[in-house]
Amino acid sequence: MKVVLELKEMNGQVGDVIQSVSLSWLNIHVMTKPQKSIYNLYKTNQAPKEVLRNVSGEAKAGQLLVIMGASGAGKTTLLNVLTARDMSKVSVKGVILLNGQVVKASKIASISSYIQQQDMFQPLITVREHLIFQSLLRMDPKMSKNERIDCVEQVMKKFNLTKCMNTRIGGKFTFKGISGGEKKRLAFASEVLTNPSPTSGLDSFMAQNLIECLKTMASEGRTIICTIHQPSSQVFALFDNILFMADGRVAFMGTTRM
């Protein structure tokens, strides 16, 4: 899996009531902006390229949508557009709706979580310390220290991180810390902690375990979109809807059920 988008109206804390949000998009066109040469600012180095072409679709609250397609099909670009992220090098036309209403990009960003394929953690701190830092940085400032700690304990239990909570995270270029699967679960936990990841490099059992967790989160009323390249038949069966993309276009949009 490459990236995950989670949408909901949120009050901000673990355990709050989730107010479901459905996301839809109509006639999305994305073009790259002309890039200037670093040696000559008056010379265009690269011509604009059409990345997405008239893409429409919908992600319903309480359901898990997967976007599939070959590399370069436009999966990540579509997710970037839907979450108003990393848009500095492209121009976008089209309409994005939340519960049928047009909203500002800042509104979408404020109620969404976006987990990248590559995890970025401070390798020298433990799993528990990382989540506590996230709680101090991102949770409601009115919450007490004990309330934040309780939330951290809840998400560690939810994502099976209690066994490694006192283990330093580690990294590829430092020292071996927690496992790759634990890092993926930690990425999820970091986002769920504020109540608003991918499976690359994981074995099929762990990938299925994470998708089952996303399925549970979606059943609670969240809207979750993810991209994945080659899911197993067991993982594919967990998705509610699928969007196949090819060459920046929609090839198929519908249910995964026969």
Which region holds residue 137: left if phi is over 0, alpha if psi is between -120 and 50, else beta? alpha
Helix axis angle for 204-219 and 180-192, nearest 10°, is: 10
Question: Can you name the CATH fold of 3-10+20-29+48-118+219-255?
Answer: Rossmann fold (3.40.50)
The pLDDT tens digits for 24-73 are 999 999 998 876 655 555 555 567 788 999 999 999 888 899 999 888 88
Q: How far is CA 98 from CA 20, 59, 66, 105, 170, in A?
A: 10, 10, 19, 11, 39
The pLDDT tens digits for 45-58 are 567 788 999 999 99
pLDDT higher than threshold 80 for residue 223 = yes
Residue written as token pair 């276009």: 249
Asked if 189 contacts 131 with a C-beta cutoff of 8 angstroms, the reply is: yes
- Global confidence as pTM: 0.64
Asked if 201 contacts 150 with a C-beta cutoff of 8 angstroms, the reply is: no
Q: What is the pLDDT of residue 236?
A: 87
The pLDDT tens digits for 158-213 are 888 999 999 998 877 677 788 877 887 888 788 777 654 344 444 555 667 778 87
Q: What is the dihedral of CA 164, 169, 170, 172, to 10 degrees?
A: 100
The pLDDT tens digits for 88-146 are 788 899 999 988 888 887 788 777 877 765 566 888 899 999 999 988 888 888 888 88
Q: What is the pLDDT of residue 244?
A: 93
Say how far apart CA 191 and CA 142 lie, in whole Å: 19
Say how far apart CA 51 and CA 73 lie, in whole Å: 8
Q: Give the chain's radius of gyration (CA, Å).
A: 19
Domain ranges for the chain, please list them: 3-10+20-29+48-118+219-255, 127-202
